[in-house]
Structure 1
C-alpha cells in the first residue's frame, strides 16, 4: 500500500465545496456555465514556516475570502476579499500573511500610456493589529510596489524587500523623475521603509537585485538597452559576470546550492537551448554552466537560506529534482500518492515535511491538498471547480505533423460520456505566443467539452516547452506557419475520425484571439465562426503602441522585429486589413481596462467588419483587464462565447 493510499478527513470543513455536480447520467443537463466561468472556488494557498498554519483564498458562504487555519483546523482569521485581483499569497513568520493584489489605474497627462496595472502588498497581522499596505501613507513612493524580492527574518522581526517608484525633490517640490524602481527594506511590523539600493540611471535600462538571508543586497544585475550589454556586481561592487544580449534575455535566477554563489540565466541566440544557466561565486571567479541537459520549468529556493533546493523539469506533466535526498524522497512519495494526475508543488514549510500541492488531470477539476510526510496523510483542502469526476472531460496529449513536417503537440479535451467520433470542434490556440498548453483542467476547454464539443489546444511553433529551435521557428510566422500549424491540428482530428470537418469554430485570447481572427480572414473555408477575446487585429499598430509606451526602447524594438517582423510584413498579417475577406461570423470580447492589448484593437476590427458588411458582435467588459480577473467578466465572456458558438456551430443533442 502506498504511503498516502489512505486519505484523511477534510482539513477544513467550511472550505470543502458542497453541492458539487455528481455523475453524468445519459440525457442529464451539463453543469451550469457559472461553475466554470466564476473565479475558482479555491484559488491560492500558502503554508507558514512551521507548517502549523495555512492561508487560503477560497469561497466560503458563497463569498470570496482569505481564510487562515491552524494545524487543528481552528479558524484563526477570515477576511472578505470581494472582487480584488489577488496575485500572490505569502507568509512572514507565523502571525503575518502577505496578500499581493493589483488594480488598473489611469495615468493622466504626460505618460506614454493611458492606463497601467499597479500592484500592492497588503500585510495582514493575525494578532489583532491593524492591516496595512506596503508604502501606505508614504507620499514619496506612489503607485504601490514594483517587484517583490522576498522576506527575511532578522533578530525576531520580519522584513520585506520591495521595489517602489520614488519621487525626486527640487526646491521643496516633489516630482516624478523616473519610473524605474528603488529597492526598499520594509519592516513588516510597522510598515517603516528604508532605502536599500538606488534605481538604474536611465529608464531605457533596467536593474534587478538579489537579496541575501541577512537582508543585504548580495548582487545587482544591470542591463543596457542601447547595445544589450549586461553585468552583475556583488555586494562590494565587483563585477563577477558580464556579457551582451541584444534581446534582453538575461536574468538573476537566485542563489546556488549554497548562498556563496549565484545562478543567472542567459538566452543564447546561437545555442540550441532556450536558456543556459551559469553559476558564479559571489566573491568572483569563473562562471560554470550547469544543468546542461535539463529544461527547467521552475525553481525552488529555501525560504531562510535562499539557497537552491531544486527545480521543476519541463514536460507535459510536472516532475521534480531536489538536491537533498530527503526532499526528493518526500516529493517522489507525494507524486506516487496521486497516480495519473499532474501534481503541482505549491508551497512547503521550513522542515519540508508538510507540503501544499494542487492536482489536476483525468477526473480531477483542480484539487488542493496538504501532504504530511510524518503522518503519511494527504488531506484535501478544497476544489477549484466543484464537480464529480464523471463531469470532467477527459484530456490527453496528441501529436501530428505540420504541413512542412514539423512535429506539433496539442491538448485534446473530449466531451464526458460521449464517443469521440465525428464531433463538433472548438479550436482553442493559447496566448503569448511564448507559452504552451498542458493536459490539465482548463476552464474554457472544459466548459465547451461539457456542451458536447471536442476542444483542441495546439502548441504551434513559437510555443515554449519544446526547445529553442521550436520556439524560434515561430519568428516571423504570425499569420503564416503558426496559423497553419493550428488548422493542421484540425485536419489531424478529421483524419482520426474525431472531428466533423464541417463543424469547427476557432476561439482564443490575446495571441489566441489574433489566431481566431486570422483563421477567418487570412485563412478561408475552415471555421464556421471565430471568437476573439482581447485579441490583436492590427499587428502593426500593436508594435508601434508597445514601442511608444516603452519610450522607444531599443531592446524591445529588436525583440519585436526578431519575433514578429516590421513594416509591410505586419500589414500583411493584420486581420483588420482583411476584414472584407472574412468568411464566418466573428465575436469580439474585450476588457475596457486592458493594458496589454488595448481595447481599441477590437473596436477597430468591429468597425472594419461592419464597413465590409460582415456579421460581427462586440462585447465590452467594463472595468476588466487582459486576464479576465473578475468573476462577473469571466462568466460574461463564457456565456457570450458559448451562446455564439452554439448558434453558429450547434452541438449534437445530449445522448
Structure 2
C-alpha cells in the first residue's frame, strides 16, 4: 500500500520526535490525496542519495534525492511505461525494468525492457543483447536482473530468453550474460538448459544453480561448485511439487540457505547443495510464513536478517548493527510501527518506513549522527484511526485473521460497516496505515479487512484452501467477517457494504449478486467480472504464475458460475463500478460489460470510467475522484 506524504523542499533533516495534535473530524479528501505519493524508496550503496517512485504534478516519476544536503532533487524523465523494479548499480547508476503495451510480430502484447540511467540525468539507454545472443530477434520480455556488482563497477547479470515462443531449448529457456550497463556491453556466461526457468548467482556474481518447473509440475535443479567454469550436475529432477526450494544465500562448504514450506509454513533452512536436501531450521515464525532473506552486500556469506509478517511486517535481524538500529527505531516510533526499508552497504544510513502510529511516512536514519529525520512530511500531525488485528472462525471452522480500523470519535458499538477484501488474491493485508481504511473510518465506518482463505502468509494449507473457491468459500469468509463483527456488537448488520479493488472489486460484484440480503450496497474498483475472460487474456500480471490457463482452471470447477457478469438479474443491491481506461491488469471491458448487463437487467448501478487511471491509482486526481464518488454513493445507500 502506498504511503502518501508531502516532500520537504528543500530536504530538511529534522531531529527525531513526533508531536501529535488532536484529530479533526471529517477531514477533507485532500488530506488523503492531494499530496506527492511515495510508493517505495531505495538508498544508494554509499548512503548519500535515494531513488524514490513518486507522483509529481499528476505524473509518476522516478526521483533522485540527496540525503547529505548536497545538490538538488532530480526527477528522471522516463516517458511512457510502468516501472516494475529498480536496482542501484554502484552509486552513479540505476537499472530498472519498464513495461508498456506494444506489438511484437504483429501481436499486441505487454513489452518489458531493462533501462540504465545515470543518476545525474546525463545518460539513459535501453539494455539490448547483441544479435548473436538472440538469433530470433529481441523478444518482448527484456530480461531479469539476477545480480548486481558490489565493487562500484557498473556490472550486472541479466537472465534473458532469446525467444519464449520457440520450441527448442536454445530459444525458450533463459541464458545469462554479464552486462556493463554504462556501455551496454554483453558477455555471455551461462547457456540455456532444458527445464531450467531461473538461474541463481552467489554474491560474487557466479551462477551456481538453475531451477525450473514445467507444465504439470515437473521440477529440475542443477548445481555447480565452481560458478565460473565448473560443470552443472543434476541434483534433483522430480514430479509435481508445490514449491521448489532454491538457494537464497550461498554459504561455505557447499551449504546454502533456502526458504521452504516442507513443514507446512515457509521457514529458512540450511541446504546441502550436493544433494539439495534441507537440513536444520534457521528461523521460522510460528503460524506465519517467512517471506525472504536479507543478505550482506559486502560479505559473500553474510546474513543480515529474515523477513516475515505476522499481523505486521517484521525482520528477525542476525546482524547486531541492525538489531541496534531497530531498537532505536522502536524507541522512536513504537515497537512494530516502523521497519528498515533500505540500507547503505556499511549499514550506517537507513531509510525507515513507518506504516503505523501517529506519523506514517518515510524517514532517514543516520546512525553516526544519531538522528532520524523525515524524508517526507507525514500526511498529518494528527493521529489516525486505530487499527488492530482480530481472529474469527469461518463457518467451516477455519481461523481467519482480519484487521479492524475504527472511527476515532465513535463508540465501537453497532457501527455501519465496510467489508474490504484485498486484491490479489495471493497477497495479504497487515495491521498498518491503509488509505482507504483511514478515509472511510474518518467518515464514521468500521472497516474490516479479512485475510480470507487463499491469502498468502499463513502457510501452505491456508493458501491451498482457496484453490477452487473463487466466489465460493473465499466469499463465505468475507460474509463470516460481517457475521462475527455483528455478534461482537461492533457492527450493525443492517448497515453493511462491501468495497474492494482488483480481486476485492470482483468480490464486491459477487456480494451484490450472490448475497444482496447481507449488503446494502457494493463498490468495485477494477474488478474482474468474467473469469473466463481473464483465463484467455491474462498474461501473468494479474496472478503472476507460469501457466495461466492451469491457474484459472484451478480456481473453481465452473468459471462461468462464479462470474457476476453472467447473472445481472441476481443483483439485488446497488453497486458503484469504477475502472481506469488505462488498466493493464484487469481490462476496462470487465466493468463496461458489467454495467451494460446491469442496465439491460434494470438493476441499480453507477458506472464511472476514469480516462487516465490504471490499476494502481498512480494519479492523485483519480484517487480523489474515487473517494468522493464512493463517499457520495455510501451517503445515499448506507449513510454513517
Bin the TM-score by the shorter chain: 0.7 to 0.9
State the 1:572 CA deviation.
Answer: 2.6
2:27 maps to 1:36 = no
Would the aligned equivalents of 2:7 and 2:375 in 1 still touch at CA under 8 Å? yes
1:379-390 equivalences under 5 Å are 379-383=373-377, 386-390=379-383
> What residue in structure 1 maps to residue 207 of structure 2?
217
Would the aligned equivalents of 1:164 and 1:183 in 2 still touch at CA under 8 Å? yes
Would the aligned equivalents of 1:17 and 1:382 in 2 still touch at CA under 8 Å? no
> What residue in structure 2 maps to residue 228 of structure 1?
218
**CA distance 1:206–1:231, shift in 2 (3 Å):** closer
Q: 1:337 aligns with which of 322, 332, 335?
A: 332
2:634 & 2:19 partners in 1: Cα distance?
Answer: 24
**CA distance 1:324–1:166, shift in 2 (3 Å):** same
With structure 1 as the length reference, what TM-score do the two structures score? 0.82
2:246 & 2:438 partners in 1: Cα distance?
Answer: 37
2:243 & 2:23 partners in 1: Cα distance?
Answer: 52
> What residue in structure 1 maps to residue 562 of structure 2?
573
Structure 2: gaps of 5 or more residues? 1-5
1:42 & 1:207 partners in 2: Cα distance?
Answer: 33
> What residue in structure 1 maps to residue 600 of structure 2?
611
The total of aligned residue pairs comes to 615
> What residue in structure 2 maps to residue 634 of structure 1?
623
State the 1:345 CA deviation.
Answer: 2.0
Q: 1:148 aligns with which of 145, 154, 165?
A: 145
1:484-563 equivalences under 5 Å are 484-546=476-538, 556-562=548-554
**CA distance 1:415–1:21, shift in 2 (3 Å):** farther
> What residue in structure 2 maps to residue 255 of structure 1?
249
With structure 2 as the length reference, what TM-score do the two structures score? 0.84
> What residue in structure 1 maps to residue 447 of structure 2?
455
2:115 maps to 1:118 = no
**CA distance 1:406–1:549, shift in 2 (3 Å):** closer
Deviations 1:83-126 (CA, angstroms, capped at 9, x unpaired): 8644434322222244x353331336664xx4426254342243
Would the aligned equivalents of 2:314 and 2:336 in 1 still touch at CA under 8 Å? no
State the 1:228 CA deviation.
Answer: 1.7
What SS does structure 1 have at the residue aligned with 2:246? strand
Would the aligned equivalents of 2:339 and 2:352 in 1 still touch at CA under 8 Å? yes
The structure showing larger relative contact order (alpha-carbon pairs under 8 Å, at least 6 residues apart) is 1
Would the aligned equivalents of 1:535 and 1:597 in 2 still touch at CA under 8 Å? yes
2:458 maps to 1:466 = yes
1:92-491 equivalences under 5 Å are 92-98=89-95, 100=96, 102-107=98-103, 111=107, 114-116=108-110, 118-126=112-120, 129-135=122-128, 140-141=137-138, 143=140, 145-153=142-150, 157-166=153-162, 181-199=174-192, 201=194, 207-234=197-224, 235=227, 236-239=230-233, 241-244=235-238, 246=240, 249-250=243-244, 252-258=246-252, 261-268=255-262, 271-273=263-265, 275=266, 277-282=268-273, 287-288=278-279, 290-291=281-282, 293-294=284-285, 295-307=289-301, 308-364=303-359, 366-383=360-377, 386-390=379-383, 392-491=384-483
2:52 & 2:159 partners in 1: Cα distance?
Answer: 26
2:44 maps to 1:48 = yes
**CA distance 1:117–1:515, shift in 2 (3 Å):** farther
> What residue in structure 2 maps to residue 7 of structure 1?
none
1:180 & 1:623 partners in 2: Cα distance?
Answer: 36
Deviations 1:535-581 (CA, angstroms, capped at 9, x unpaired): 2222334334449999xx9955554444x133xx3333222232211
Would the aligned equivalents of 1:49 and 1:93 in 2 still touch at CA under 8 Å? yes
State the 1:62 CA deviation.
Answer: 8.7
> What residue in structure 1 maps to residue 87 of structure 2?
90
1:14 & 1:622 partners in 2: Cα distance?
Answer: 33
Computed over aligned residues only, the root mean square deviation of the Cα atoms, in angstroms, reads 3.8
Between 1:505-514 and 1:275-284, the stretch displaced more is: 275-284
